[in-house]
Structure formats: C-alpha cells, structure tokens
Structure 1
Amino acid sequence: MRELPVVGSPPVERADAALNRRRIIRAAAEMIATRGPEAVSMDEVARAAGVGVGTVYRRFGDRARLVYAVIDERERDFQAAFIQGPPPLGPGADPSDRLRAFLHALADRTEAQADLLLMAESGPSDARFRDGSYGLYHRHLALLLSEIRPAADTAYLADALLAPFAANLFLYQRRTRGMPLARIKTGLDALADSLITNRPRA
C-alpha cells in the first residue's frame, strides 16, 4: 500500500498568526470544556482569545472549521496510528485485519469526541466531506479494499463503510437507541466480514 500523509497539521505561519491561532483554539477548547460544545460562538471565542472577530473568521472561516481545529490534536494521533503505527491498525498486517482494526479504532475515536464532531458536521450539508480527515479515511479504506476485492467499486464501498460514523447517526444509536459501543463494533465487523468473506479468489 502507498503511505498516506497525515492531514490536519497547521500550515507554516508567521509567528503572530501562529500565536493568534493558538489563542483562538485554546479559548474555544476551554469554552467547550466548561460550557459544552453548544456554547461555541465566533464572537465569544474572539473575545475570550483577545482578538478581533474578523481574525477568527479569516483564520477558520466558520464555526464548523473552528471546532475541527479543536479536535485536530486527537485526530492527528489517530491518523498517525493507522498510517505509521504498529499492526494490525498500522502497516504490516493482512488488509482484512487492518480493515477491522480501523473500523474499531474509528468507533473509539468517534465515541471520544462525538459531540464535537456533531457540531463540526452541523454546518453546510457537505461539512463532513469537506474536512480533510474524511478524504484520508476514504483513501485508506479504498486502498485496503483494493487489496481485498480488486474488482470492486472501492470508492463506493469506502463511503458505505464510513456512513455509520456520521456523528448524528452514531449519537442516535448510542443515546437514543441505547446501543453499547461493543454492539456498534459487532455491526461494523459484520459489514467488514460481508466484504472479506466474499472476496474473489486470486
């Protein structure tokens, strides 16, 4: 498999811009920690960070992108684990084992910050897909699937495997339906196994 780049790292910035970025993210993170993610507003974050609201909008564009910036550190750790970490999540394992390990790890990742992900995905209808992480997940799954089922429509199947991780669906299953995380992982295994079991012979 080709090695994929970790996305979500901040671009090279001037010192003053980097300082403002850290102030804004720290203010947003503290606001989320003390008042919940629903408390995040661009105006309040700007005041708490000691910068103009225009600076916040220029740097992040909208609230969804600001929330994604808050979750970037955990996201970068997750990406490094499946791109460069030890198997079975990282390279070196059978693609079928890596597929299952990735789905389980993404379930844990979503569980840890589901409320923030829900807020980030509540912007424009394509907010979830505009984030670079979705594209990276999709490419990673498509590469694994191309080894498991070379003749399959891997682009479609990658989207299908990522669909259960939409934050609104994930939270509905966890909180409204009361599904334990273990049950969700069992369902993900069933999806993966349906692709792995029916893999064509070489």
Structure 2
Amino acid sequence: MDRWSILSMGKNDRVERRERADAARNRQAILRAAEELLRRHPPEQVSVERVATAAGVGKGTVFHRFGSRTGLMLELMSERARELEQAVTDGPPPLGPGAEPVERLVAFLAEVAALGARNGNLMAAHEHAMVTRKAAAEQPREANPIYVFWHRHVSALIAEGRPDVDAGQIAHMLLGTLHMEPIASQLRAGEHERLAAGFAELVRGLFRGGVG
C-alpha cells in the first residue's frame, strides 16, 4: 500500500470519528431540547419542528435519528427509564438488591411515581405515542420494553413475598394506576408523594396478608 493510500485511510478514519461524535452530540441536544420543551409546554405543542429549532439542528436530523415524533418520545422515555433500571439492577438497597421484597417494591413504586412527577408531560407524550403509533394494534402497551421490565420486576417481588397470589395480575393492577387520569393529572402537576404513600399502603397490606 502506497503512502497516499495510507494518508487517505487516516483521513477517512478521522472523518468517520468526527461524524460519529457529531451524531452523538446531535442526539443529546435533541433529547435535551425535547425534555426542556416538555417541561414548559403541553405534549401536543411539542412538535418535531419546535424540537429541532431548540436543539439547533435541522428537522431532517431529528427524523433521521429518531424516525418520527413518536420515536423521539419513546427514546426520551427509554433514556429516563434506563436510569431506574440500572438502580434496580445494580444500585444500593432498598431500590437495588439486598432488601426485603416488600421494601424493594415500596421503593420501586415510589421511584416510579417520582419519575412520573419529574417527567409528567413526557409520560403523557410517551403514552400518546404508544397509543397512536402505527403498530399499536400489533404491539400493545404491555409489549413496550419499559413496561415489560417494570412488570417483571414488580411480579417477581410480589411472588417472592406472596407466593400464594397471582403476582402477574396484581403487578398489572398496580402499574395500571399510572394510566388512570386522576393519577396521571397529579403526576403532570408534579405531585408524587401522595401516590407513593398510597402504593406503600397497598403493598404493605398485601404482604401482611401472606399465609402462615
């Protein structure tokens, strides 16, 4: 291989690295812009055009990276949910491993409530995206990876503490309250302590009712 070919390869590598870095910066800028807009405006007012302007990128860049407004909202919600998943998997107790199942479940549901309050409009936009996406008929809310993880975690904790009950069904019932409008409106208003306290009462009552 001659000298000019080697120089050309080196230049191409630098260009590719710069493009990857630019793409990563654009992704974070778009997510930050969408999150900030959702803090200040109702979800229906947060359009791709508005996000692109706030992020300082072209509308085509948003579509190229996320596919659609729905894809953007799903990715933003997934980003927030991954932080909770990491805490559940590897974090300290009671949210992470090492505590009794009742304490872990109380801590997890309290954190879910806090997540909803911090990102009330985002959760509303995420829910709307899940309902209105083209594949909704084939992939219901329960198939969403975020919900799958939350349901699996809640079910496992219930089954550990109350092996005599239908843990999967109760997990659906607990998580389903997040989509009830009275609860959702509280979360959009940033109110999560009351929901967390209610979850705690339900969970402790459930575990006190164990057999033997």
Q: Quote the residue 2:47 is aligned against.
A: 41
| Secondary structure, counterpart of 2:129 in structure 1 | coil
Task: Kindly indicate whether the alpha-carbon contact (under 8 Å) linking 2:121 and 2:188 is maintained by their aligned counterparts in 1.
Answer: no
Shift of 1:136: 0.9
| Secondary structure, counterpart of 2:113 in structure 1 | helix
Q: For residues 4-53 of structure 1, what are the alpha-carbon distances to aligned partners after superposition, in whole Å with 9 as ceiling and x for unaligned?
A: xxxxxxxxx95564344334324423443565544321233345543353
Gaps of 5+ in 2: 1-18
Q: Quote the residue 2:194 is aligned against.
A: 183
Q: Are 2:179 and 1:166 equivalent residues in the alignment?
A: yes
Separation in 2 of the partners of 1:183 and 1:28? 28
Q: For residues 178-198 of structure 1, what are the alpha-carbon distances to aligned partners after superposition, in whole Å with 9 as ceiling and x for unaligned?
A: x96433223212321232122
Task: Kindly indicate whether the alpha-carbon contact (under 8 Å) linking 1:120 and 1:128 is maintained by their aligned counterparts in 2.
Answer: no
Alignment TM-score, normalising by the size of structure 2:
0.71
Q: Are 2:64 and 1:51 equivalent residues in the alignment?
A: no
Q: 2:24 aligns with which of 7, 18, 21?
A: 18
Aligned length: 186
CA gap of 1:101–1:22, structure 2 versus 1, over 3 A, is closer
Shift of 1:200: 2.6
CA gap of 1:137–1:17, structure 2 versus 1, over 3 A, is same
Separation in 2 of the partners of 1:73 and 1:31? 16
Task: Kindly indicate whether the alpha-carbon contact (under 8 Å) linking 2:116 and 2:187 is maintained by their aligned counterparts in 1.
Answer: no
Would you tell me which structure has more helix in proportion to its own residues?
2
Q: 2:156 aligns with which of 129, 140, 143?
A: 143
Specify the code of the residue in structure 2 equivalent to 1:170: I
**Which runs of structure 2 are paired with 1:99-138 in the superposition (5 Å)?**
99-125=105-131, 128-138=141-151
| Secondary structure, counterpart of 2:128 in structure 1 | coil
Separation in 2 of the partners of 1:28 and 1:39? 11
Task: Kindly indicate whether the alpha-carbon contact (under 8 Å) linking 1:89 and 1:98 is maintained by their aligned counterparts in 2.
Answer: yes
RMSD (Å), alpha carbons: 3.1
Q: Are 2:166 and 1:153 equivalent residues in the alignment?
A: yes
Q: Work out the percentage of aligned pairs sharing the same amino acid.
A: 37
Q: Which has the larger radius of gyration?
A: 2
Separation in 2 of the partners of 1:47 and 1:66? 15
| Secondary structure, counterpart of 1:121 in structure 2 | helix
Q: Are 2:73 and 1:67 equivalent residues in the alignment?
A: yes
